[in-house]
Amino acid sequence: MSTRELVVLGTASQVPTRTRNHNGYVLLWDDLGVLFDPGEGTQRQFTRAGLPVSRIDHVCITHAHGDHCLGLPGVLQRRALDGLTGPLTVHHPTEAADTIAGLRHATPFDDTAPVTLRPVDRDAAPLDLGAVTLHAAPLEHGEPTLGWRVQEPDGWRLLPDRLDALGVPPPVRHHLVADGEVTVGGRRVHVEEVAVRRRGQSMAFVMDTRDCDGARTLAADVDLLVVEATFLEDQRALAEEVGHLTAGQAARLGAECGARRVVLTHFSQRYPDLTGHAEEARRHAPGLDLVVAEDLDRVPLPRRRPSPSTTGGNR
């Protein structure tokens, strides 16, 4: 059975606490693994989470502040220590290229696998990661910052009873989805006759930003939104000044953008207790499917949305 979930490695912001490690989030998407913003201690948090670094195929970094990238050298060197040979791509803002290149070779070690550093511009086209695409959008922070979105395209869910009725054998059914049609017994069978539309799933990562157009583009109708909530509303002026969100703003952003499940994280060290974040978020967005993240949480993607109504026998 496939796994689609977020593994929370750390929920602190600039300063870690006794209970909150620096940033780190792993999206497990079937066979694909994406690590977002590895702060200090990420390698250790992999161990605590029972997650091997071999699960990671891509790293996405929002910006060059240390709490979002200083764990990268440890992750890369751990992969080499484990003798991994699979390729890894590190996606980051173009403006952070020098910093990321320095972290890539922060200390000497012997590479065992190719590591590609991929600078991403603010208007870059989506990148094909195979089963999903990776989108970037600019955020508003003191340092050039990008948010990320992982998007699965819409597909098809085959209906066994219709396949059997038309005599479509199992060996050719994958061709039906890939090509849109197959010929069986001299008859052309179209995918619309034997399948219903299946909505693609999505996850967005919005970190270190004010409320802005880029954040809302990434969060629009997303299944799982991971969003910073550094402060509470009584510190809103400070949040605006330094380019962060309050718990209330983060929750409203998720609700107004139609996010199905919202994970709040990146909490200032001034808040040893996160009860206030939960209460404030629920007050500003009643009914929101909300998670106030703790280190080592595992948050599944919501169940797939119902198939859209279409013509051609679909429902």
**Bridge partner list, 12:** 267
Catalytic residues: 67
Nearest Cα neighbor of 24 from 272, 271, 226 is 226
